[in-house]
Each structure stands twice: as C-alpha cells, then as structure tokens.
Homo-oligomer: A and B are copies of this chain.
Amino acid sequence: MITVLRLGHRKKRDARLSTHCGLAARALGADTIVFSGEKDQQLLDSIKKVSKNWGGRFKASYEKDWRKAIKNFRGTKVHLTMYGLPIQDQMRKIGGKRDVLVIIGGEKVPGEVYRAVDYNLAVTNQPHSEVAALAIFLHEYFAGRELRKRFDGRLKIVPQEFGKKISI
C-alpha cells in the first residue's frame, strides 16, 4: 500500500499542480492520496471522476491535521525533498517495504516533517517539481511494473503508433 500525503494545498494557487500529484499517484500505482492544507472539494471530485471513468481503486481524501496523518501512519515514512539523501543510494532500503507513506510538499515544508519521517529522499538535489519527484519515486519503488498496471475502467485507450483511440 502506497499512500501519498500532499502538504500545504492552497485552493487557488495549487489546484492544477495538486490535481497532477493526484493523477500521477493514481496512474503510477499508488493507492491513496491525502491532501492537507486548504480543503478543496473540487480537487477531490476531479480525481474521483477520473477514477470512476478510468478504473482502479484509487482513493483521494482530505486531512486537516497532517501531523496526525504522519504520526498515525503504520509503515515506512518517506519525505521527498531536494535537501535529502540521493534516492538512488537509498532506494534499496525502501523498495521492499510494504506500506509506505510518501510525503510531498507544498512551497514551504515545516522543519518538523524532516524529523517525523524515516527517510528524506532527494530526487536530485536541484529545485524542480514534486510531481516529477513523485513519479520517479513510484517508478523506482515499483521497478517499472507500475507502467503495466491494469485499471479496467469504462474508458480505455487502445495504444496507437500515430493517433488516438479510446474504447468505451
């Protein structure tokens, strides 16, 4: 079970980035995303709508108290941050863990998050994107198998060399 915790969501400013976090988490094999920060029902609805149409059992929810969400999680707690240790050196310790909480920021992550987790992992020590960091984490965690995950939704793409095909 992979749970993603997205910290510090701001309804106006982060709507699309948080949606991308949720959809990438779903598409790349995570089971759940929990948003903290401002409550945003539209965000949750947009992710639920994708799950309904495209299949799978992905869940999206809101938790105001992110401290509680981290504290109560039973399993391995990972924070993705440019300040952490290189993911490529740490991943062999994490790849085998069954239940993993993956925490991704918002703009400013409180210092206590760094100390509340088992691993602070850097997907490069350069500034870039929590969506990109999450994608690479999941790709490494599942060792590429996530790309073959089946969703069996109402909508389904028939892969094409050139063009678009959806079967309904």
Residues of A within 8 A of B (CB): 13-14, 16-17, 20-21, 23-24, 26-28, 50, 54, 81-88, 111, 114-115, 120, 122-129, 131-136, 139, 144, 146-149, 151, 156-157, 159-165
Contacts and interface: CB of A to CB of B under 8 A. Distances in A.
Contacts of A162: 114-115, 120
Contact of A131 (B54, B84, B132, B157): B132
A147 B86 contact: yes
Contacts of A85: 159-161
A140 to B, nearest CB: 8
A111 B147 contact: no
A114 B83 CA distance: 39
A114 B165 CA distance: 12
B13 A129 contact: no
Contacts of A126: 23, 26-27, 54, 151
Given A23-B128, A28-B128, A135-B131, A160 B54 contact: no
Nearest to A14: B16
Nearest 8 interchain pairs by C-beta: A132-B135, A20-B129, A24-B132, A125-B157, A27-B128, A27-B126, A131-B131, A23-B128
A120 to B, nearest CB: 6
B127 A54 contact: yes
